[in-house]
Amino acid sequence: MRFGFLFNEVLTGLRRNVTMTVAMIITTAIAIGLFGGGLLVISLAKNSKAIYLDRVETQIFLTEDLSAGDTSCSSDICKGLRDEIEKRSDVKSVRFVNRDDAYADAEKRLPQFKDLMKDVSKDAFPASFIVKLKEPEKHADFDEAFVGTPGVKSVLNQKDLIDRLFAVLNSLRDAAFMIALIQAVGAVLLIANMVQVAAYTRRTEVGIMRLVGATRWYTQLPFLLEAVIAALTGVALAVIGLIVARVTILNGALQQFIQANLIAPITYGDVFLAAIQMAALGILLAGVTAYATLRLYVRR
């Protein structure tokens, strides 16, 4: 196979059909870019969730009589609860927080509301056990074991709050994938149309090549390469867009949250892994569509 001839045929085809090629590149860039954005959101959610899971605690709030009358967890009910918690195999650590400590902790966590805290009675803060589990994801059994136990007012697990927070990120991911799917359909139609137009404009050349013994694969390969090259150009634009988004948005506007260890940073490694998957999807999308179009169209 003469690669010089093949290369010339691909360039000629792209130049002849430049408007369709540009439209396909832009559509592919948008579709693949949204797909890559969804991958980065998945990475962000996964890494950020790991940060929060390491901090997740289950809080067992005690009843009013224990909160008011037992500041050191010395009563039989309180000590019994603590012993029951500590002997569980799924518990990593446990500490008792009395009413005064709970109030002081609230003041420390919310310094911006320090003036308002003066008007809040300490009686509003029940004593509690703060428990860290070895596997925070499996908190349901622990929670059920202590709900309704004598001396227990309620059980609060922070993982439920975290799940609600990350449900927002999951919604953003799903939206990105949905729009990417719609754009991918548009890209497929453009690829099919581009290949048909290219094959039609060069039908005479292809016919002559077939007459002199060229194989079907040899005559169709330039069209496949045109589609793949256009798709990879779109992928390159999409990757550049992700890098810009990482610098300006993910690690730019969100820098304060990253420094406060509230969310995980998006690294260039994450972008690189996403780029590999984006390139694979782009090649697959263009190659399969172009091949199927040629099989259906050129045969006629």
**pTM of this prediction?**
0.70
Residues of the chain with CATH 3.30.70.3040: 57-138
Q: Does domain 57-138 have CATH number 3.40.720.10?
A: no
Q: State yes or no: pLDDT of 86 exceeds 80.
A: yes
Average pLDDT on 8-33 reads 78
DSSP states of 123-190 = GGS--EEEEEESSGGG-HHHHHHHTT-TTEEEEEEHHHHHHHHHHHHHHHHHHHHHHHHHHHHHHHHH
Among 115-129, 221-235, 267-281, 282-296, where is mean pLDDT lowest?
115-129
CA angle 98, 104, 109 (to 5 degrees): 120
- Tens of pLDDT, residue by residue over 34-84, are 899 888 888 888 888 777 777 778 889 998 888 888 888 888 889 999 999
Phi, psi of 262 (to 5 degrees): -90, -30
Q: For a pLDDT cut of 70, what percent of the chain falls above it?
A: 81
